[in-house]
């Protein structure tokens, strides 16, 4: 197909399209041009179809729509279609064609949210809280990204309200780490029916809380949570601890 506005032939082709659009092009010329295999009356439409076919071929080859960012041209085209759909400028014909593609989604972030949030609810159901550790193999990085979006002010209000409705959900990563250690302490006490010795990681963490308490820098809400532990004491007998583990 001759390039637009870049050659004498391209200029001539554009003139024929202009005459065709104004219904001033003789029928015999129309038939001659349409007999050409690559001829199109709308170059933009032809470009769109070319890119659409490339996406179809990609899906046929790999079985998914996860186009790698190194394929900049195709990634850019896909992003453009999604933006046009969101802006309401994508034609119904193109919308229907794209919607029929295997694996096509109009909003990838929303699809990821749906998948991860379903897993999130399973975690809460099994553990009784939403304090997901950073080390969690499938949810750790996801909750990290949500906290970053919240910090930047780009996370939707609806999602913020949903997450905050769950027990022990925190936006601050340091708060999340504290809650994670708090849960480990509870598990140790439940298993051993005693406070952890300072030789254990749970004991070292508990001692840090006592030090912060003595310095009057431990937050009130954390003091209350520790006080709610039946066996908790603020003055831990180190000598007794050592003799217990000797």
Nearest CA among 191, 216, 195, 189 for reference residue 207 = 195
Pair 146, 163: CB distance under 8 Å: yes
pLDDT for residue 62: 87
What pLDDT shows up at residue 37? Answer: 65
Condensed to tens digits (0 to 9), the pLDDT of residues 123-137 reads 999 998 888 888 899
Nearest to 112 by CA among 122, 120, 100: 120
Query: Which ranges constitute the DSSP H helices of 89-236?
Result: 92-99, 108-127, 140-152, 157-164, 173-192, 201-214, 220-227
Q: Is 90 helix (H, G, I), strand (E, B) or coil?
A: coil
SS3 10: helix
Q: What are phi and psi of 194, to 5 degrees?
A: -160, 165
CA dist 111 and 114 (Å) reads 5
| Helical ranges in 193-234 per DSSP H | 201-214, 220-227
Give pLDDT < 50 ranges for the chain. Answer: 2, 4-5, 239-240, 242-246
Q: CA 50, CA 206: separation in Å to the nearest integer?
A: 63
Residue 122 to residues 88, 116, 169, 170, 188, Cα–Cα distance (Å): 36, 10, 15, 18, 23
Cβ–Cβ under 8 Å, residues 158 and 179: no
Res 10: pLDDT? 78
Question: Which pLDDT belongs to residue 63?
Answer: 85
Task: Give the phi and the psi of residue 107 in degrees, each rounded to 5.
Answer: -135, 95
pLDDT at 21: 80
- Please state, in angstroms and rounded to a whole number, the distance separating the CA atoms of residues 63 and 160: 34
Q: How many CB atoms lie under 10 A from the CB of residue 60?
A: 9
Contact 172, 134 (CB under 8 A): no
Structure confidence at residue 38 (pLDDT): 61
Nearest to 119 by CA among 104, 103, 136, 99: 136
């Amino acid at each position: 197909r001759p390039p637009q506005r870049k050659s004498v032939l391209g200029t001539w082709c554009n003139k024929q399209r202009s005459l065709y659009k104004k219904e001033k092009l003789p029928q015999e010329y129309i038939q001659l041009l349409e007999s050409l295999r690559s001829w199109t009356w709308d170059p933009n439409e032809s470009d769109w179809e070319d890119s659409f076919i490339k996406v179809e071929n990609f899906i046929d080859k790999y079985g998914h729509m996860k186009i790698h960012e190194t394929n900049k041209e195709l990634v850019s085209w896909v992003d453009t279609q999604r933006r046009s759909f969101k802006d309401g400028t994508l034609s119904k014909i193109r919308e229907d064609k794209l919607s029929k593609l295997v694996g096509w989604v109009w909003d990838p972030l929303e699809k990821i949210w749906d998948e991860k949030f379903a897993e999130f609810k399973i975690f809460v159901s099994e553990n009784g809280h939403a304090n997901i550790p950073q080390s969690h193999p499938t949810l750790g990085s996801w909750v990290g990204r949500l906290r970053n979006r919240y910090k930047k002010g780009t996370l939707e209000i609806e999602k913020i309200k949903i997450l905050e409705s769950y027990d022990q959900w925190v936006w601050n990563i340091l708060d999340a780490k504290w809650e994670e250690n708090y849960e480990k302490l509870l598990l140790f006490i439940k298993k051993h029916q005693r406070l952890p010795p300072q030789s254990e990681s749970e004991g070292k963490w508990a001692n840090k809380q006592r030090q912060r308490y003595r310095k009057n820098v431990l937050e009130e809400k954390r003091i209350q949570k520790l006080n709610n532990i039946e066996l908790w004491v603020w003055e831990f007998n180190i000598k007794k601890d050592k003799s217990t583990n000797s």
